[in-house]
Structure 1
Amino acid sequence: MEHEKEPSPVNPLPPVVVALVLILFAIEAGFSLGARGIIGGADAIGWRLHAIQTYAFSSEVLWWMWETGQWPVEHLIRFVSYIFVHVAFTQTLFVCVFVLAMGKMVGEIFGDLAMVVVFLVSGIGGALGYALLTQSPTPLVGGFPAVYGLIGAFTYILWRQLALVGAQQSRAFTLIAFLMGVQLLFGLLFGGTLDWVADLCGFGTGFGLSFFLAPGGWARIRSRIRRQ
């Protein structure tokens, strides 16, 4: 007699979410172990700083490319590479926690490929918004703009679900309002940078992409265009 397998109490994570987190942790592990002299020898102490100089997004570099008309690959890659470089282990840890939580929910509904698109394109959107709105000389590093893109996609999911049950859709924006409020509070208490602009632009990019990437999104858009 065959016995049916009992369902797991914990839903498995989408493979692409696990892969993203492993990439983020592997890079951070290299920086942290190198800084402690465990791997890489004496040169490894400067790995993190070198990575920030090489892969961080820079508004000044963007404007230089725009003014000169030169778009070298080593600078274009910064639009994405900055997502995977962090200034400290704690920043990486928080990014990974959000990727696990938000990536799981978005990936299960949108699919693995769409989740990765939201993550990466939101990072690009966050970098562009940071350059256009702040023109700050401070380099942009860390995966939070991409994470906020996943939060934007998650907000879209809640927004649609609330619409289906006839509830107030503005409730879907509670999470982003809370996170922005916390950032503002910390900025007032301890001083802060303009990174929150990139985070907010990443959120907007992720929310906007969801209209196209969510299941049935293209069909709804085509239907509205035809009605007009």
Structure 2
Amino acid sequence: MSEKPINDLSPVVIALALLIIGAEAVFQLANAGLVGGPRGVGWRMEGIGMFGYSPAVLERVLVQHDFSPDILWRFVTYPFINVEIVQAAFCAALTLALGKFTSEYFGGLKVLAIYFMTAIVGAVIYGLLVEGNAPLLGGFTPVYGLIGAYTYVLWLRLGQAGENQLRAFQLIGFLLALQLLFGLIFGGGQSWIAELSGFAAGLALAIPLAPGGWALLLHRLRERS
């Protein structure tokens, strides 16, 4: 029996990855002079200016009460604007992998909700806590949101198997340690604030969105008591 293509990935997950890959492909083609002509070299900066997010965006919303579309869409478009091809590749690959795992449990539409809601939460927390105007770009924040949702699924399954449920947090612990190491070696910004916020939001959202919702969580907690 032949395997189905790309492991039956949810169309929603494929669409998210294609948005990341497609945007980066346009930037790479423009840099190579294949599209956009002489102006194409600056398309990435124009994309950041039109679709990127920074603390100034949140300030416009909270202080100036600017709810125009070109401000609000930045809360959900910044994950698709990466600073370089390596970041885009990692974000696309992790979105496909984690999207596959989570969509098998939650379904495609709920994964879409988790992706964008964690992107928004991460952006808001980043805007509240980060001083200055350093941009928040790339899909790592909602990827960490998917990791949060996947962690909850692992926590439930380990509980069903009677195993140590703290093992569910090994993945996020490993990623944070790796990120800390890279930050010490290469110097890092403050995007970890958004990413950790995205993880916490994904973990919290997974509870009501999981089959069984809060009732399932309470049942699992009673079983342990």
Tell me the TM-score normalised to structure 2 length. Answer: 0.92
CA distance in 1, matches of 2:35, 2:150: 39
What CA distance in whole angstroms lies between the structure 2 residues aligned with 1:174 and 1:223? 24
Partner of residue 164, structure 2? 168
The residue type paired with residue 181 of structure 2 is L
Matched to 1:147, the amino acid is V
1:33 alignment partner AA: L
Equivalent-residue separation in structure 2 for 1:52 and 1:101 (angstroms): 26
Counterpart Cα distance in 2 of 1:133 and 1:177? 22
Aligned residues: 219
User: Match for 2:69 among 68, 73, 84?
Assistant: 73
Cα gap change, 1:118/1:161 in structure 2, threshold over 3 Å: closer, same or farther? same
Q: Work out the CA distance in 2 between the residues paired with 1:99 and 1:69.
A: 33
Report deviation, 1:133.
2.2
Decide whether the 8 Å contact of 1:80 with 1:123 is kept in 2. Answer: yes
Partners of 1:159 and 1:170 within 8 A in 2 = yes
Does 2:176 correspond to 1:180?
yes
The 5-angstrom pairing of residues 1-40 of structure 1 reads 6=1, 8=3, 11-40=7-36
Q: Give the Å deviation of 1:12.
A: 1.9
d(CA) in 2 for partners of 1:182, 1:126: 20
Find the counterpart in structure 2 of residue 107 from structure 1: 103
What is the CA-CA distance between 1:7 and the residue it aligns to?
A: 5.5
Gaps of 5+ in 1: 1-5
3-state SS of paired residue (1:11): helix
- CA-atom RMSD in angstroms: 1.8
What is the CA-CA distance between 1:164 and the residue it aligns to?
Answer: 1.3
Going from structure 1 to structure 2, the CA distance change for 1:222 and 1:189 (only over 3 Å counts) comes to: closer
Matches of residues 195-210 of structure 1 in structure 2 within 5 Å? Answer: 195-210=191-206
Q: Is the 8 A contact 1:152 1:204 kept in 2?
A: yes
Contact 1:60–1:135 (Cα < 8 Å) also in 2: no
Matches within 5 A, 1:69-218: 69-218=65-214
Q: Which moved more, 1:81-90 or 1:158-167?
A: 158-167
Tell me if structure 2 keeps the 8 A contact 1:126–1:202: yes
Contact persistence 1:114–1:213 (CA under 8 A): yes
Determine helix, strand or coil for the equivalent of 1:68. coil
How much does 1:51 deviate? Answer: 0.6
Q: CA deviation at 1:70?
A: 2.5
Give structure 1 regions of 4+ aligned residues with deviation exceeding 3 angstroms: 218-224
SS in 1 for 2:8: coil
The one-letter code of the counterpart of 2:93 is V
SS of the equivalent of 1:140 reads: coil
Q: Report if aligned partners of 1:14, 1:112 keep a CA contact under 8 Å in 2.
A: yes
CA distance in 1 between counterparts of 2:10 and 2:3 reads 15
How many Å apart are 1:30 and its aligned residue? 0.5
**Rg comparison, structure with higher value:** 1
Distance 2:61 2:7 in 1: 46
User: Share of identical aligned residues, percent?
Assistant: 43
One-letter amino acid of the structure 2 residue matched with residue 126 of structure 1: G
CA–CA distance in structure 1, aligned partners of residues 163 and 9 of structure 2: 29
The letter of the residue matching 1:159 is: W
